[in-house]
């Protein structure tokens, strides 16, 4: 896994390491509920204060599915920092989420 | 358009059908695809799957008032729109009129990581949203196997696909799902296992450098369907499937007659010549006057003011004009008067389907009353005998429906029993005129007889065919052509 240049420098809070994470769900299914809980937990541990989570329920706003090319539910989209990354699943595999979002260099 | 008779037969089947609007396909499926069900269209890359699916949507929108959704996994909307624009389909306009919704689903495997359990509700929601927006009745998923590349967990995917197909049926949507052909199975991921109602396989094969497209209905539950492989064409108007034998033989037999161009030959056929709208086969060895007979036939028709279309696979039009002027036939004036149209094609230039398409098209444009194909033998060089036969069946059917009188020449080879090469096609022909040469006492002469002519009391006598500067004529009856003393003209 490549290290992003922003990671290497590890500056104090700048715009480039602020995370905007959007989680797409479809109603309050067990997977959705689990995903929200898992995401909050991971962010609190790794990104205190440097993140924002947006939860989009596609049952309410189906037209939003096209924009981020959502097919699987739940899907987590890292909108910031670039590049855009996607993780599908209920985020129960913490390691995969941390690697997938590039929260710390992979070992 | 299926005839009334055909309709009554199909009405008996319980399955409701959704017409595709694709020429010929509705005929071989007995009315179209199963209504409210999922059909699978599979085949290799470039076999026409997407086109078939898009035509289903476009015709649905324009002809049957059924809006459609295309969920596309491979091409962007722009690309798809550009691709079918060459066929005169304006997808943008259809989208604007809310008759069509295209949703491009991009799956970038390298952007997606998996972390835990998921399902494909996102896809369902998108589909449902698109369907709801335009009140769609038709759906195309082209092609779902892209999901196999994008979704790592194939166990999830398989159960989700099953759920998807069930959902489509619950929504009473008539759907086409396309799939790439596999090596040992119809589709690479065995999609056919999920689709019980209708599976159509397309094929694009090249034999001896000539490509032919074929369509086969692998299964169609609850419906009588043709099981043959049907050749189909893709031209600038889209797909047309050509049933090898029309399911219905309903063309009207005309009682009018058409002169053969030789009064004495007319005389042999009740004094009136061929039936209008019938098909005539002229066979003979090299140099027996087949082309002359055909040219004479067209010349006489032009003199009556009828439009003739002459397809030549051997000689260029100017060559024919020159050669025919040597036997007293001035065809040039008819060409100038635009009564006689030549179309010269190298048989090997395009495949049989291409020839058939070209012939269909020209006939559609010019609406001739007489068509000559000279000779059909050369088409055999393009493809096997069987293919030529099936093509000719379709051509003859087409000509009869159009009530066009047609003449086909066929070169037979010396020593070859002429029946053998001609037998393949003769059963399609209403009239069969045999030309041959013989050399009684070393004096060569051409002979002609009418081997068969359906629906009339024709003469079975052998006559000498006289080809001279003043045109074609028949000599006296050769009561026994081996008797040398009975030479015509004496």
Lowest mean pLDDT among A28-37, B13-22, B128-137: B13-22
Both structure tokens of B18: 């959704």
What rounded mean pLDDT belongs to chain B?
Answer: 83
pLDDT tens per residue, range B315-337: 889 999 999 998 888 899 999 99
A6 pLDDT band, cuts 50/70/90, is very low
Torsion angle of C-alpha atoms B29, B32, B34, B40, degrees rounded to 10: 80
Q: How many CB pairs below 8 A link A and B? A: 100
Class of domain B4-241: alpha beta
What pLDDT score does B191 carry?
Answer: 79
The residue of chain A nearest to residue B114, with distances taken between CA atoms, is A88
Lowest mean pLDDT among B17-26, B59-68, B242-251, B313-322: B242-251
Cα distance from A92 to chain B (closest Cα, Å)?
A: 5
Cβ distance A93 to B151 less than 8 Å, yes or no, reads no
Domain ranges of chain A: 18-90
Cβ distance B120 to A35 less than 8 Å, yes or no, reads no
**Residue of B113, B120, B128 with shortest CB distance to A71:** B120
What pLDDT score does B387 carry?
Answer: 67
**SS3 per residue for B391-435:** HHHHHHHHHHHCCCEEEEEEECCCCCCHHHHHHHHHCCCCEEEEE
Across B345-354, average pLDDT: 71
The residue of chain B nearest to residue A98, with distances taken between CA atoms, is B115
Strand order in the sheet with B279-284: B340-344, B308-312, B370-374, B405-411, B279-284, B431-438, B445-453, B462-468, B471-478
Residues of chain B with CATH 3.40.50.300: 4-241, 257-486
Residue of B73, B103, B111, B115 best to disrupt the A interface, most CBs of A under 10 A: B115
The residue of chain B nearest to residue A87, with distances taken between CA atoms, is B113
B424 pLDDT band, cuts 50/70/90, is low
Cβ distance A66 to B126 less than 8 Å, yes or no, reads yes
Q: A39 or B315: whose pLDDT is higher? A: A39
The residue of chain B nearest to residue A77, with distances taken between CA atoms, is B112
The residue of chain A nearest to residue B117, with distances taken between CA atoms, is A89
Cβ distance A75 to B122 less than 8 Å, yes or no, reads yes
With residue A22 as reference, give the H or E element that holds it: strand A19-25
Please tell me the distance from the alpha carbon of residue B423 to that of residue B410, in angstroms, as a whole number. Answer: 11
Dihedral sign of CA atoms B316, B317, B323, B327 in order: positive
**Residue of A66, A88, A89 with shortest CB distance to B103:** A66
Residue of A25, A31, A60, A65 best to disrupt the B interface, most CBs of B under 10 A: A65
pLDDT tens per residue, range B140-174: 999 888 888 777 788 888 889 899 999 999 999 99
pTM over 0.80, yes/no: no
Residue A10 has pLDDT above 60, yes or no: no
What pLDDT score does B383 carry?
Answer: 54
ipTM, interface predicted TM-score of the complex: 0.82
The stretches of B259-339 forming alpha helices (DSSP H) are: 263-268, 290-303, 317-325, 332-336
Cα distance from B35 to chain A (closest Cα, Å)?
A: 27
What pLDDT score does B3 carry?
Answer: 47
Whether the CB of B77 is below 8 Å from some CB of chain A: the reply is no
Whether the CB of B114 is below 8 Å from some CB of chain A: the reply is yes
What pLDDT score does A27 carry?
Answer: 92
CATH number for the domain whose boundaries are A18-90: 3.40.30.10
CATH classification number, B257-486, choose in 3.30.450.90, 3.40.50.300, 2.40.30.10, 3.40.50.2300: 3.40.50.300
Cα distance from B111 to chain A (closest Cα, Å)?
A: 6
**Residue of B115, B128, B151 with shortest CB distance to A97:** B115
pLDDT tens per residue, range B437-487: 888 888 888 999 998 898 898 988 899 999 888 888 898 887 654 444 333
Lowest mean pLDDT among A60-74, B5-19, B189-203, B458-472: B5-19
What pLDDT score does B399 carry?
Answer: 87
What pLDDT score does B126 carry?
Answer: 94
Please tell me the distance from the alpha carbon of residue A74 to that of residue A35, in angstroms, as a whole number. Answer: 7
Across B50-72, average pLDDT: 94
């Amino acid at each position: 896994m490549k290290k992003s240049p922003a990671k290497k420098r590890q500056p104090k809070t700048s715009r480039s390491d602020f995370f905007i994470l959007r989680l797409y769900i479809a109603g309050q299914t067990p997977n959705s509920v689990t995903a929200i809980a898992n995401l909050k937990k991971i962010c609190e541990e790794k990104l205190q204060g440097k993140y924002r989570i947006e939860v989009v329920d596609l049952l309410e706003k189906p037209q939003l599915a096209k924009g981020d090319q959502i097919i699987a539910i739940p899907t987590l989209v890292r909108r910031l920092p670039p590049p855009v990354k996607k993780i599908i699943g209920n985020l129960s595999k913490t390691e995969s989420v941390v690697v997938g979002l590039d929260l710390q260099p992979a070992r | 358009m299926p005839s009334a008779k055909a309709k009554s037969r199909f009405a008996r089947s319980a399955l409701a059908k959704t017409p595709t609007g694709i020429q010929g396909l509705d005929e071989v499926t007995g009315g179209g695809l199963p209504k409210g069900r999922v059909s699978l269209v599979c085949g290799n890359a470039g076999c026409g799957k997407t086109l078939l699916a898009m035509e289903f949507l476009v015709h649905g929108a324009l002809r049957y008032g059924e809006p459609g959704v295309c969920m596309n996994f491979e091409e962007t909307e722009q690309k798809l729109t550009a691709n079918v624009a060459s066929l005169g389909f304006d997808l943008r306009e259809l989208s604007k009129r809310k008759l069509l919704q295209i949703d491009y689903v991009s799956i970038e495997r390298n952007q997606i990581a998996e972390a835990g359990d998921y399902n494909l509700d996102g896809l369902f929601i998108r589909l449902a949203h698109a369907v709801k927006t335009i009140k769609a009745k038709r759906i195309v998923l082209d092609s779902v196997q892209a999901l196999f590349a994008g979704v790592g967990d194939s166990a999830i995917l398989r159960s989700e696909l099953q759920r998807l197909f069930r959902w489509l049926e619950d929504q009473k949507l008539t759907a086409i799902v396309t799939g790439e052909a596999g090596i040992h199975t119809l589709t690479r991921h065995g999609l056919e296992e999920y689709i019980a109602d209708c599976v159509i396989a397309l094929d694009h094969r090249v034999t001896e450098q000539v490509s032919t497209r074929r369509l086969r209905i692998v299964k169609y539950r609850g419906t009588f369907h043709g099981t043959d492989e049907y050749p189909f064409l893709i031209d600038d108007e889209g797909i047309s499937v050509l049933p090898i034998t029309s399911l219905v033989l309903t063309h009207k037999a005309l009682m009018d007659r058409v002169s053969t161009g030789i009064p004495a030959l007319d005389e042999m056929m009740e004094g009136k010549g061929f039936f209008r709208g019938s098909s005539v086969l002229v066979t003979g060895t090299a140099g027996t006057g087949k082309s002359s007979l055909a040219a004479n036939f067209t010349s006489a028709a032009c003199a009556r003011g009828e439009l003739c279309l002459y397809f030549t696979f051997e000689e260029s039009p100017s060559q024919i004009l020159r050669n025919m002027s040597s036997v007293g036939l001035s065809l040039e004036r008819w060409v100038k008067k635009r009564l006689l149209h030549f179309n010269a094609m190298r048989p090997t230039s395009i495949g049989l389907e291409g020839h058939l398409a070209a012939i269909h098209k020209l006939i559609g444009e010019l609406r001739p009353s007489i068509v000559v194909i000279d000779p059909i033998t050369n088409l055999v060089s393009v493809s096997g005998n069987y293919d030529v036969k099936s093509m000719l069946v379709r051509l003859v059917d087409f000509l009869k429906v159009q009530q066009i009188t047609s003449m086909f020449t066929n070169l037979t080879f010396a020593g070859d029993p002429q029946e053998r090469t001609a037998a393949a096609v003769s059963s399609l022909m209403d009239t069969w005129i045999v030309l041959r040469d013989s050399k009684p006492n070393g004096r060569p002469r051409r002979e002609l007889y009418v081997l068969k002519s359906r629906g009339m009391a024709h003469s079975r006598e052998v006559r000498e065919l006289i080809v001279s500067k003043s045109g074609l004529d028949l000599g006296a009856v050769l009561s026994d052509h081996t008797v040398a003393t009975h030479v015509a003209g004496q």
